[in-house]
């Protein structure tokens, strides 16, 4: 996960020539706090962020000479406002990423006994995807995601409209007989996916009903449907790095054996 706020502060310091101690004096914070922000180990508190960003933007804005600062979009007629906007965006992205882990961070693995709650979790997770990747989301499943979400596929995917993500890469599995029987349903969902996003990569694989039902999102989130039968449902999910990495190797072993049915690229 990117440390956008800290990386931005580091770049602004390098481009402006402003040292850590100088910046610490300007915002009236100890240098150790700024080091933690830059390293991504800590974020400023919400109650203080407005003052911190305003003081930083003023400091860096006064140092701006009109030259290129690492490709950052800074208006020469009002550098303070541009820098303030960049800092706010970076901070909000990192705060969203932190919030998107919900209660999983403490438990390492969360369990859901209600499909509706898992879908809600997915929606909230997609809403925070811009904090994980600037413009792309990669969703891979060992089973039929369209069929699993049903009529709620569109509302879940549409959460991405609230982010800056325009590139969607979806690899999912499909039962060809079921797809032919429910042709209009699958076509409708695929068309909605294409229409709503600028770049779409869609890969369809032949389903193997014996495979475990796993969802991997941006190699940052792991979800496994353990049981689904009528009103009975059980799933687990995690964003813990060790669990995700282990699950990713497990996931890839199944996908390597799957038959690719079709690929679609829309740019």
> What is the DSSP code (8-state) at residue 108?
S
- DSSP 3-state assignment of 262? strand
**In the chain, how many H helices and how many E strands?**
12, 8
CA distances from 164 to 107, 120, 123 (A): 30, 20, 15
CA distances from 182 to 51, 144, 153, 205 (A): 56, 13, 15, 17
**pLDDT tens for the 267 residues of the chain, in order:** 468 899 999 999 999 999 999 999 999 999 899 999 998 888 898 889 999 999 999 999 999 988 899 889 999 999 999 999 999 988 887 776 665 544 444 457 888 999 998 998 888 777 766 555 557 889 999 999 999 999 899 888 887 776 667 788 999 999 999 989 999 999 998 888 887 766 889 999 999 888 899 999 988 889 999 999 878 899 999 888 888 888 888 888 888 888 998 888 776
Provide Rg for the chain, Cα atoms.
22
Q: What integer pLDDT is reported at residue 102 of this predicted model?
A: 43
Q: What integer pLDDT is reported at residue 87 of this predicted model?
A: 94
């Amino acid at each position: 996960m990117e440390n956008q706020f800290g990386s931005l502060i580091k770049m602004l310091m390098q481009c402006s020539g402003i040292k850590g101690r100088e910046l610490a004096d300007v915002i009236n914070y100890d240098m150790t706090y700024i080091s933690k922000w830059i390293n991504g180990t800590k974020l400023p508190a919400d109650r203080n962020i407005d003052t911190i960003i305003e003081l930083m933007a003023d400091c860096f804005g006064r140092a701006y000479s009109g030259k290129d600062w690492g490709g950052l979009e800074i208006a020469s007629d009002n550098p303070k406002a541009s820098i303030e906007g960049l800092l706010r965006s970076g901070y909000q992205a990192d705060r969203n990423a932190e919030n998107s882990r919900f209660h999983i961070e403490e438990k390492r693995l969360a369990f859901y006994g209600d499909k509706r709650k898992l879908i809600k979790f997915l929606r909230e997770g997609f809403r925070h995807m811009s904090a994980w990747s600037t413009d792309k989301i990669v969703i891979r499943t060992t089973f039929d995601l369209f069929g699993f979400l049903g009529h709620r596929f569109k509302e879940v995917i549409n959460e991405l409209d609230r982010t800056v993500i325009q590139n969607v890469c979806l690899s999912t599995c499909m039962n060809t007989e079921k797809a032919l029987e429910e042709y209009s349903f699958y076509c409708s969902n695929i068309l909605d996916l294409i229409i709503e996003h600028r770049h779409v990569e869609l890969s369809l694989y032949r389903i193997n009903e014996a495979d475990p039902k796993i969802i991997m999102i941006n190699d940052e989130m792991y979800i496994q449907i353990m049981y689904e039968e009528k009103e009975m449902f059980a799933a687990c999910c995690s964003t813990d790095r060790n669990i995700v990495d282990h699950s990713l190797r497990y996931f890839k072993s199944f996908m390597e054996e799957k038959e690719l049915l079709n690929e679609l690229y829309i740019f």
